[in-house]
Structure 1
Amino acid sequence: MEPKLLIAAVLMTVLMAKGVTAWTGEIQGRVVCDVCADSSIDPEDHVLAGAEVAVLCITKSGEVLNYQAFANSNGIYTVAETMPETERWDACLVRPISSFHNHCTHLGDGSTGVKFSYEYPSGYSHAVRPFVYHPVKAPVYCI
Structure 2
Amino acid sequence: MEKQKTLMSLILLLLLFTSDVSAWTGEIHGRVVCDVCGDSSLGPEDHILEGAEVAVLCITKSGEVLNYQAFTDAKGIYTVAETMPESDRWDACLARPISSFHEQCTQLGEGSIGVKFSYNHPSGHSHTVRTFVYRPTSVPTYCI
TM-score, normalising length from structure 1? 0.88
Pick the structure with greater CA Rg: 2
Question: Cα gap change, 1:20/1:131 in structure 2, threshold over 3 Å: closer, same or farther?
Answer: same
1:105 alignment partner, SS class: strand
Instruction: Please show how residues 121-140 of structure 1 align to structure 2 within 5 Å.
Output: 121-140=122-141
Count residues in correspondence: 131
Return the letter of the residue paired with 1:50: G
Cα deviation code 1:81-106 (max 9, x no counterpart)? 00000000000000000011110000
CA RMSD of aligned residues (A): 1.5
CA spacing shift, 1:87–1:16, aligned 2, 3 Å: farther
Residue pair 1:34, 1:133 contacting (<8 A) in 2 also? yes
Write the mapping of 1:41-52 to structure 2, written as runs, cut at 5 A.
Answer: 41-52=42-53
Q: Where has structure 1 moved over 6 Å in runs of 4 or more?
A: none
Distance 2:81 2:111 in 1: 24
Identity percentage over the alignment? 73
The unaligned stretches of length 5 or more in structure 2 are 1-13
Q: Which stretches in structure 1 are left out of the alignment for 5+ residues?
A: 1-12
Once the two structures are superposed, the pairs formed by residues 1-143 of structure 1 within 5 Å of their partners are 17-143=18-144
Give the Cα separation in 2 of the matches to 1:68 and 1:95: 10
Q: What TM-score comes out, normalization by structure 2 length?
A: 0.88
